[in-house]
Amino acid sequence: MADMSSRSQKPVDRLGLAMRASHVLVAIFVVLGLICAAIGAANQDTFFLRLATEALIFAGLALSVDILLGYTGLLSLGQALYFGMGAYISALVLKEVPSFWLAMGAVLVASFVVSLLAGMVANRVRGVYFALVTFGLAQVAARAVYNTRAIGASDGLIGIPIVPINLGFGTFMSSSPAPFFIFTLAFIVILYLISAYILDTPFGRILVALRANERRVPFLGYSTWNARLAAYVLAGVVAALSGALYPMLRGFVSPELLFFATSGNAVITVVTGGVGTLAGALYGSVILTVLKSVVGSMTEHHLIVIGLLFMAVVIFLPKGLMGLVRPRIERMLSGGDR
Amino acid sequence: MTAVLSVHDLGVSFGGIHAVNGVSFSAEPNAITTVIGPNGAGKSTLFNLISGLIRPSNGRVMLRGMDRTGAKPHLMQRAGLGRSFQITNLFFELTVLENLRLAAQRLEPSARLWLPVRRSHRALARVDALIERFGLASKVGELAGALSHGEQRRLEIAVALAAEPSILLLDEPTQGMSHADTADTAKLIRDLAKDVTILLIEHDIGVVMDISHHIVVMHQGKKIAEGAPAVVRADPAVQAAYFGHA
């Protein structure tokens, strides 16, 4: 029993270790992504690069779900609200002024304000009621968009212009598949790194404490209300910034982006990839997007396959794909430490 | 010396039942003040009133000379109050280390809230000291939920103490403990009183008489007696209500 303890002079911070293991998995993800980009570019491919870019964009949405579900213990069934909002605001800005940075700035500000306000409503309740309120808020927004002629109603907005993306060291067009894929990869990885950094600070650990035992948190000197609201806003902004890339990739936005299917898919993505790992959101999104596309090309009943897969994961891999591999990496990392 | 904590005419009623009714007392610095009373006397409710979990319907709570009546728990914590719970209330799925680190992170300047936790040097030093003092060195990396009951009770006290409170409220720290563990815990609490003022709820009358400096006796929501252990023991009203007639 006491064999390990005597050895560990500096005790291992399990949460920090788990996060470092996630970093390793994301590094592998980036390498795989770059290899795919190279292969795609060499073959003059458009379809698969664009599909992969879409997977990355939805990975950002899944990331936001994992911040809430995996770290703070809040199940949001309405993250599509922010994802869709980001897509629409980005589309509206780009139609007026084709400026990438202006679109991103507008999405950042708008999502911050809206998630703060909506968070004040949603945070009044806990558990299943929180899930229902987030679901309801997204449904209200989706219906409003669906019925508003000025922003395209059920047709959505089409004809979003191709935008030049100026990164300081160079400019490329959102229509060129390989550069835009690599850019999106970098963008999502930055969102991941920001989230991971925040979750590894004392503030982030309060979120983890909320998930573990909310009742004790006030006695650590922290307002649970403020902490949950901050997590909700962070997740809202991450989802919206990811969504902002969608019209640049597709050239259109539609109300479906705000529908429950989008929110639900993000939850399925996180559960498949591994709740509370962040890296799982990235892998899960690629798996789900590819699966949907491949199975979808064979049968129109691809949702049956997704549903069965989801059930299989919940039953056989309750900790998702990352639950299978991350503990091994943790062991390797802690072994190298001592 | 001024009292670290004093309550004046504190009370709350739930649907007409006075769970705590006009209770007044003070906790003197570095002393152990113990609240005793039969089950249902209102002891835990009194703790909940003081720590901000329940809003009092009348009376005042003074902490370090400031009126903190009705302040929320996290504000009471920041004002210098630490408390433990009768039913173990830890982060069971987190390690012993993380439980203590979370509880100690308030010691860091607020700017450090946004730096990685490994940079929380003050909090981590505090954690080391607590691990040493509470004999949890062999358990640091284990999940709190995997500890034995006695270890969890000890961790519960350590977590309450981590942010260096001015007053520590301990709600039945020896609950469910073996005789040996109870004796160890009593000794530990007596040692703690050198650094911190302690307000204790305790059922083990041997422990109470042994370590308390001041005893407050509650019965049916009211304070029926208070004083030094010997005084309280001799009080006929206490004997009637609490010890029963021999």
- What is the model's pLDDT at position B39? 86
Please indicate, yes or no, if residue B181 is contained in any of the structural domains: no
The mean pLDDT value for A205-229 works out to 96
User: Chain A contacts of B91, Cβ < 8 Å?
Assistant: 209, 212-213, 216
Give backbone dihedrals phi and psi of A80, rounded to 5 degrees, phi first: -60, -25
Q: Is the pLDDT of residue A8 over 50?
A: no
Among chain B residues, CA nearest to A211: B91
For B74, which of A5, A16, A218 is closest by C-beta distance? Answer: A218
To the nearest whole Å, the CA of B146 is away from the closest chain A CA by 12
Q: Is the pLDDT of residue B205 over 50?
A: yes
For residues B160 and B90, membership in a common domain is answered with yes
Task: Provide the pLDDT confidence category of residue A304 given band limits of 50, 70 and 90.
Answer: confident
* For range A261-267, the mean pLDDT: 95
Torsion from C-alpha of B146, B149, B154, B159, nearest 10 degrees: 50
Closest-CA residue of chain B to A210: B91
B1 and B66 in one domain? yes
CA distance A206 to chain B (A): 7
Amino acid residing at A323: G
Q: Do B74 and A223 touch (CB under 8 A)?
A: yes
Per-residue b or e along A23-34, where b marks 16 or more CB atoms closer than 10 Å to that residue's CB: bbbbeebbeebe
Per the DSSP assignment, residues forming a β-bridge with B34 are B200, B215
pLDDT in tens, B25-59: 999 999 999 999 988 899 999 999 999 999 999 99
pLDDT for the residue numbered A294: 86
Q: What is the CATH number of the domain that holds B63?
A: 3.40.50.300
Residues of A in contact with B137 (CB under 8 A): 5
For all residues of chain A together, what is the average pLDDT? 92
Chain A segment 206-225 residues within 8 A of B by beta carbon are 206, 208-209, 212-213, 215-224
Which of B83, B113, B137 is nearest residue A219 as measured by Cβ atoms?
B83
| A331 interface with B at CB cutoff 8 Å | no
Confidence of residue A145 (pLDDT cuts 50, 70, 90): very high
Range of the domain at B202: 1-75+168-173+197-246
pLDDT band at B244 (very low <50, low <70, confident <90, very high): low
Please check whether residue B191 lies inside any domain of the structure. no
Chain A / chain B CB contacts < 8 angstroms? 104
A20 touches chain B (CB under 8 A): no
Q: Which of B77, B138, B141 sits opposite A12 (nearest CB)?
A: B141
Paired residues of B184 in beta bridges: none
A96 lies within 8 A of chain B by CB: no
The residue length of chain B stands at: 246
Closest chain A C-alpha to B243 CA, distance in angstroms: 34
In a domain, B190, yes or no: no
Q: Give the percent of chain B with pLDDT over 90.
A: 80
Q: Place A5 in a pLDDT band, splitting at 50, 70 and 90.
A: very low
Contact yes or no for B91 and A222 at CB 8 A? no
Stretch B128-135: mean pLDDT: 94
Q: At residue A7, does pLDDT exceed 60?
A: no
B85 & B156 share domain: yes
With CA atoms as reference, the chain B residue closest to A202 would be B113
Over residues B184-198, the mean pLDDT reads: 94
What pTM does this model have? 0.92
Mutate to test the interface with A, among B55, B89, B113, B161 (most CBs of A within 10 A): B113
Helix, strand, coil abundance in chain B, percent, nearest 5: 40, 25, 35
Residues B5 and B65 in one domain: yes
Is there a domain that residue B153 lies in?
Answer: yes
Domain count, chain B: 2
Closest alpha carbon within chain B to A200 = B116
pLDDT of A242 strictly over 70: yes
Strand pairing category for B5-14 and B58-63: antiparallel
Does residue B187 form part of some domain?
A: no
Contacts of B123 in chain A (CB under 8 A): 202
Residue A6 has pLDDT above 60, yes or no: no
Query: How many Cα atoms are found within 13 Å in the side-chain-facing hemisphere of A325?
Result: 16
- The answer, yes or no, to whether residue A337 has pLDDT greater than 60, is no
* End-of-domain residue from the set B146, B164, B182: B164
Q: Range with the lowest mean pLDDT among A9-23, A59-73, B59-73, B119-133?
A: A9-23
Task: Tell whether B50 and B88 lie within a shared domain.
Answer: no
Mean pLDDT of chain B: 92
- Residue A177: CA count within 13 A, CB half-sphere: 18
What pLDDT shows up at residue A131?
A: 96
- Delimit the domains of chain A by residue range: 15-37+46-328
Chain A nearest-CA distance from B46, in A, is 16
Q: How far is B140 from chain A (nearest CA, A)?
A: 7
Strands (DSSP E) contained in chain B are: 5-14, 17-27, 32-36, 58-63, 66-67, 81-83, 167-171, 197-201, 214-219, 222-227
Distance from CA of A200 to the nearest CA of B (A): 5
pLDDT for the residue numbered B129: 96
**Is there a domain that residue B225 lies in?**
yes
B116: closest chain A residue by CA: A201
A200 CB neighbours in chain B (<8 A) are: 116-117
Instruction: Tell me which chain A residue has its CA closest to the CA of residue B95.
Output: A14
Which residues does chain B have within 8 Å of residue A221's beta carbon, measured at their own beta carbons?
74, 77-78, 106, 163
- Nearest chain B residue to A221, by CA: B74
* A197 part of contact set with chain B, CB < 8 Å: yes
Residue that terminates a domain, selected from B123, B145, B164 = B164
Spatial distance between the Cα atoms of B3 and A331, rounded to a whole number of angstroms: 51
Q: How many CB atoms lie within 10 A of CB A335?
A: 8
Do B70 and B126 share a domain, yes or no?
no
Does pLDDT of A9 surpass 80? Answer: no
State residue A3's pLDDT score: 41
Alpha helices (runs of H) in A47-126, residue ranges in sequence order: 47-66, 80-96, 100-122
Q: Which residues of A touch B120 (CB under 8 A)?
A: 202
The C-alpha of B152 sits at a distance from chain A's nearest C-alpha, in angstroms, of 14
Cα end-to-end distance, chain B, whole Å: 39
- Three-state secondary-structure class, residue A243: helix
pLDDT for B149: 93
Residue A78: the pLDDT is 95
Of B73, B114, B115, Cβ closest to residue A218: B73
- A202 closest CB neighbour out of B82, B117, B140: B117
Query: Cβ of A328 under 8 Å from any chain B Cβ?
Result: no
CATH number corresponding to A15-37+46-328: 1.10.3470
**Given this model, what pLDDT does residue A11 score?**
53
By mean pLDDT, which of A9-18, A52-61, A97-106, B93-102 is the weakest? A9-18
- Which residues on chain A are in Cβ contact (under 8 Å) with B113? 201-203
